[in-house]
Copies of this chain bind each other. A is one copy, B any other.
């Protein structure tokens, strides 16, 4: 029986928010980060300093002795970078939610190391609660990546490329789109010189509730209770905000239809 391989050194390809949070977390738990690559050497240097590693901006300088290349760059740049990388004996993995694992098949060992979280520049994230979606081209590779993720987080799962794509799509509905709604609310308050802060406890309880309730049990509001008067009042209030009105009417329509089979 072949022994399961353990990752003992990592090279990061990328220096954005995901690369930053992952490399700093790995560095903190004692994992040697050999190099940080970025086409912008200043970006690479900034993160290299935080992780006691070397900054490079030329892919040909990547250390082939590393156990793991973690490719953490914008989705549309992954293919091109893989093209330029040379085969090596370690594992090559990307951190994307949507890119299929098989784009890495020129490597002997390859996989996916996808942290399902939104990372911001100056906001710490508790990495131990971040769900990691792991995929590998072989059982060995998969187990090796799983074990590495387990050192960072309590929440690690094997997820294939098809399911990961679906999770990534669902993530847009709980992250990017609610955020757009928050911006809409902020605009409505700004109009009356009311600080957005007044909404924060409600906004956060709406999310926190999901720990105890299913979204359908938690649904409230004018459309949920079939309160057509309020919907009319709100719609009139939005007459100078055509984009917000469009959102308001689409959502009210869908909620009325779902819970009251109306419209």
Contacts and interface: CB of A to CB of B under 8 A. Distances in A.
A148 interface: no
Q: Is the interface of A mostly helix, strand, loop or mixed?
A: helix
A130 B201 contact: yes
Contact of A219 (B166, B173, B180, B246): B180
B131 A227 contact: no
Contact of A163 (B159, B175, B192, B213): B192
A64 to B, nearest CB: 31
- Give the 3 A-B CB pairs with smallest separation, nearest first: A176-B221, A207-B207, A183-B215
Contacts of A41: none
A117 to B, nearest CB: 5
B166 A188 contact: yes
Give the size category of A's interface with B: 35 or more
Interface stretch (A83-91, A118-126, A137-145): A118-126
A195 B179 CA distance: 22
A227 B214 CA distance: 31
Nearest to A248: B172
Given A198-B157, A199-B116, A173 B165 contact: no
Nearest to A222: B172
